[in-house]
Amino acid sequence: MTITPPALSVFETLESEVRSYCRGWPAVFDRAQGARLTDEDGHSYLDFFAGAGSLNYGHNNPVLKRALIDYIERDGITHGLDMATTAKRAFLETFQNVILRPRDLPYKVMFPGPTGTNAVESALKLARKVKGRESVVSFTNAFHGMSLGSLAVTGNAFKRAGAGIPLVHGTPMPFDNYFDGTVPDFLWFERLLEDQGSGLNKPAAVIVETVQGEGGINVARAEWLRALQELCHRQDMLLIVDDIQMGCGRTGGFFSFEEAGIVPDIVTLSKSISGYGMPMSLCLFKPELDIWEPGEHNGTFRGNNPAFVTAAAALDAYWADGQMEKQTLARGEQVEQTLLAICAEEPTAQFRGRGLVWGMEFEDKARASAVCARAFELGLLLETSGPQSEVVKLLPSLTITPEELDEGLRTLARCVRETA
């Protein structure tokens, strides 16, 4: 099947030039269910993008859809600011009982606003308030959001340039394996911290992704993350884990940092926390950090109650036992075996990943975009990542069937061969 792009007149004439995903996928999508989308002409697409990680349970998941429809039909609260509602109570109780208590995590829960960057901004603000310092350390190739505070701790030069003003109070450090193993972990970072002449202001916090999704699927080793936590403790800095794309089961465990055995001071969640693709985010932090004054950080759309409903339903349906984690790791093994076979045939390619997030990189940096373009023509939605869009990013839903996953991987292998 080869898909002919439709005329996109109103999108091209009225919508801003800032639009991006639609340029790589020139179709007018109409319906979606599970791991597939359908355009208005009836063409079906297998989705290996999952709303940039917002649809871990697939499109229009029937369990979550039923809970949402029932809630709407009984005139449940839709917009609730930060008022107490039955939907919020049900989510908080479920989150505590299904996620926090079984992992012995002590976190307080803050609803900072509907998006990931809202969660990051609140985390940065809280860390600075607690420590009384301005500087926050981030890592090379990090991505934390598009508002100014989040951009200041983001590495991508193109995204940073869009701010239009200097981005301050953020200090970049090398991510895991940045020097290909030739430099001991945190040698530069710790020496700067201890050198009174380094010019580095004492940071309030360090913010890190365990797997850099937008940065090119760069996977931090568990021992690197443990060493980072120890460094933060020694130097009186808070550790913030941005789990917006890699949380909610993407790497296997509900939180991506579980495998490393660390307990961050602050954690940000968004994307798939609502379960249904609706805007919702959380900022989690240890109780002793909860020094906010009432209303000191607020937002009109913190109380998206339909998102609370689907979030609670997702936790009940998929996280009350250990099956989702096992299934994700099994699907990840399926992906890894296929990527091994593809790279055995294609010596210019390499891959990396965890759970159900994987990236394939080519020596020819333009190749990734060519692979994704050919995939769209064959009915597979793939995106690139990395600072030069040099990595093909695989981000299927966690609920994808083995057969659908195999179908998409076969298409990927074909695209790699056809773009050689």
Separation of alpha carbons 112 and 118, rounded Å: 6
92: pLDDT confidence band, cut at 50, 70 and 90? Answer: very high
Binned at pLDDT 50, 70 and 90, residue 99 comes out as: very high
| Ordered strands of the 383-385 beta sheet | 349-354, 357-362, 391-394, 383-385
Q: Are 116 and 124 in contact (CB under 8 A)?
A: no
Q: Rounded mean pLDDT of 211-230?
A: 98
Q: Are 266 and 291 in contact (CB under 8 A)?
A: no
> How much of the chain exceeds pLDDT 90, in percent?
97
Mean pLDDT of 347-366: 96
Instruction: Calculate the average pLDDT of the chain.
Output: 96
Q: What pLDDT does 9 receive? A: 87
Q: Which of 5-19, 253-267, 277-291 has the lowest mean pLDDT?
A: 5-19
The pLDDT score that the predictor gives to residue 139 is: 98
For 149-170, what is the mean pLDDT?
A: 95
Helix (H, G, I), strand (E, B) or coil at 48: coil
Note the pLDDT of residue 4. 56
| Confidence grade of residue 401 (pLDDT, cut at 50, 70, 90) | very high
Predicted pLDDT of residue 192: 95
Alpha-carbon distances, residue 381 vs 50, 56, 129, 258, 394 (angstroms) = 9, 15, 42, 30, 9
**pLDDT greater than 90 at residue 101:** yes
State yes or no: pLDDT of 26 exceeds 60.
yes
Q: Is the pLDDT of residue 244 over 70?
A: yes
Per-residue pLDDT tens for 298-328? 999 999 999 999 999 999 999 999 999 999 9
Q: What is the pLDDT of residue 411?
A: 98
Instruction: With a cut of 80, say whether residue 3 has pLDDT above it.
Output: no
Q: What is the pLDDT, as a whole number, of residue 106? A: 94
The tens digit of pLDDT for each residue in 190-216 reads 999 999 999 999 999 999 999 999 999
Contact 228, 151 (CB under 8 A): no
3-state DSSP call for residue 239?
Answer: strand
Q: Tokens for 68?
A: 């949402």
Residues whose CB falls within 8 Å of the CB of residue 267, separated by 6 or more in sequence, listed in order: 107, 240, 241, 243, 247, 255, 257, 282, 283, 284, 285
d(CA 162, CA 147): 10
- What one-letter code names the amino acid at 233? H
C-alpha span between 54 and 247 (Å, rounded):
10
Whether the predicted pLDDT of 396 surpasses 80: yes
Q: Residue 164 pLDDT > 60, yes or no?
A: yes
% of the chain exceeding 70 in pLDDT: 98
